[in-house]
Amino acid sequence: MSSPRDPLERPAPVGKVRAAAPIVVRCPCGTETRATAGQVVRCPGCGARYDTEEQARMLNTAAALAQRRFKLLGRVGVGVVGLLGLLALSQFGPYAMLGVAVAAGALWYGVVMRWLKKRTIDGTVERFTATVEPKRR
């Protein structure tokens, strides 16, 4: 329960809050409270109450969108790797194709997509924490 979960690793069912995303509620009184999206948070500084249910839903929607984008990126990766492999095959033969395909695959899935994923998660959480609206008591 305490391990941080990757909201992009699992499907986000529409209308149901499932992702345990860490968020920060910024209260106008200057207190920042750490919480999990979907929780009802009470500001320890002034007692204001924040329902993050809607934010959790928004985050899930964002995660679902990102997930779709990554699925697409995965398919694009197959195309790119295949294309590079074919190019290498036509220019340098089957061994070059194998080498290029492995290298391009590792680069795409191990570096590019990982980086994009991390960037997307950071961006999502940042946008998200910025939109928590104060709901008084």
Residues 41-80 that bind Zn ion (CB under 5 A): 43, 45-46, 48
β-strand pairing of 22-26 with 32-36 = antiparallel
**Number of Cβ atoms within 10 Å of the Cβ of 108:** 19
- DSSP character string of 24-42: EEE-TTS-EEEEETT-EEE
Region from 35-43, 63-71, 73-81, 105-113 binding Zn ion, contact rule CB under 5 A: 35-43
Shorter beta-carbon distance to Zn ion: residue 8 or 48? 48
Residue closer to Zn ion (CB basis): 35 or 97: 35
Q: Which position has the token pair 């294309």?
A: 83
Residue type, 70: F
Residue 29 as a binder of Zn ion (CB under 5 A): the answer is yes
Residues near Zn ion (CB under 5 A) are 27, 29, 31, 43, 45-46, 48
